[in-house]
Amino acid sequence: MKKILLVFGTRPEAIKMAPVVKELRNHPDEFDTRVCVTGQHREMLDQMLDVFDIQPDYDLNIMQPGQDLYDVSSRILLGMRDVLAQERPDLVLVHGDTSTSTFAALASFYQHIPVGHVEAGLRTGNIYSPWPEEMNRQLNGRLCTWHFAPTETARQNLLREHVDERHIVVTGNTVIDALHWVVASGKAVAPQFGRDERRRMVLITGHRRENFGDGMRNICQAINTLAGQFEDVDFVYPIHLNPNIRRPVQEIIDGSRKNVYLLEPLSYLEFVAMMQQSTLILTDSGGIQEEAPAFGKPVLVMRDTTERPEAIESGTAHLVGTDRSTIVDAVTDLLTNEESYHTMSHAANPFGDGHAAQRIADLIATHE
């Protein structure tokens, strides 16, 4: 019996680790599965634990309003020291690029406990974009023993950094497992907030640190311009709880317009339904670049780089940066040019087949 400790703490990690928790728990004869949440996000994490019905065994509860990277990193490292000493798992699993993932991996390394990295090998090559996530990913590439790469491109990135090829498995992205689960459950229901669902809709999210300040201001101004230009289209923005995001969004975006809806973060079940209803998605999110193509929704990525080049190559996503007029032009093109829209909404999803968690469990079961 192998004892596996999964560690996560933010909204996207919970969504993408939930399928792995479920898969391991489906094999209680093989795995003793424990979950530790850092609570790096509080409300947004709890929303997702509810959706996936996960009760953590440990909760470090580290979140502080307006926390900086030092706060998060040091609190995770100290909290994990005690959990790891008490549990002594055979393997720790972390996910992606957050502070939770890298500092939980480092804490495990300090106790000689091997770590498996889910969603390994994504790279932009620019350590300041996304910041600090690109560095977190590179550090995880060194700290972890097992690398669950979602795509062949990610595997190649790891090989270029001399990761042992026997320790890399291409699994697909677990976000597709999560999406399949939500869609099959029939529980994806759009929230009611007075919108006429027959109208076209642009779904918006944004939260990246490198966009704080000018980037966010430009994004908000672009949304005002677009909402004025397209009165027959709704602009729906569930706002991340980070105060650095909420402040500009609430100050700059004109929420009094009839076609603008500023909402609280949605549960995953609601957000999936909103993606299905949307015409296109305007975002700086990582996970949404992977999900939107599953519904044939074009994604305009408000960043200068992406660690998901597969989405760009397959034609489902375009990088538009944070320049106001570039964003306005790109959305205008998709809303007015049928050919542009058709091309982006008919590309294939390159991110997986919904069986990533199973491949991860198989590898863990068969290796020391």
Q: Which residues does the annotation mark as catalytic?
A: 97, 119, 133, 207, 209, 240
Q: Which does 15 bind (CB under 5 to 8 A by kind): ligand UD1, ligand UDP, none?
A: ligand UDP
Q: Does 268 bind ligand UDP (CB under 6 A)?
A: yes
The sign of the CA dihedral 94, 44, 172, 269 is: positive
What is the C-alpha separation between 2 and 167, in angstroms, rounded? 18
Contacts of residue 302, Cβ cutoff 8 Å, sequence gap at least 6 = 206, 211, 215, 219, 282, 283, 284, 320, 321, 322, 327
Q: Does 133 bind ligand UD1 (CB under 6 A)?
A: yes
Contact at 8 Å (CB) between 113 and 80? Answer: no
User: Rule CB under 6 A: which of 79-98 touch ligand UD1?
Assistant: 97-98
Q: Does 311 bind ligand UDP (CB under 6 A)?
A: no
Counting residues that bind ligand UD1 (by CB under 6 A) gives: 24
H helix or E strand, kind and range, residue 106: helix 99-110
Of residues 121 and 265, the one with the C-beta less far from ligand UDP: 265
What is the C-alpha separation between 309 and 318, in angstroms, rounded? 10
Q: Does 11 bind ligand UDP (CB under 6 A)?
A: yes
CA torsion 233→299→128→151, rounded to 10°? 160
Contact at 8 Å (CB) between 315 and 350? Answer: no
Give me the least distance between CB of 177 and ligand UDP, in Å please: 12
Taking CB under 6 A as the criterion, the residue among 25, 67, 187, 318 binding ligand UD1 is 67
Of residues 10 and 108, the one with the C-beta less far from ligand UDP: 10
Residues that bind ligand UD1 (CB under 6 A): 10-12, 40-44, 63-67, 72, 97-99, 132-133, 207, 209, 241-243
Q: Which residues bind ligand UDP (CB under 6 A)?
A: 11-12, 15, 175, 205, 207, 238, 265-266, 268, 271, 285-288, 291
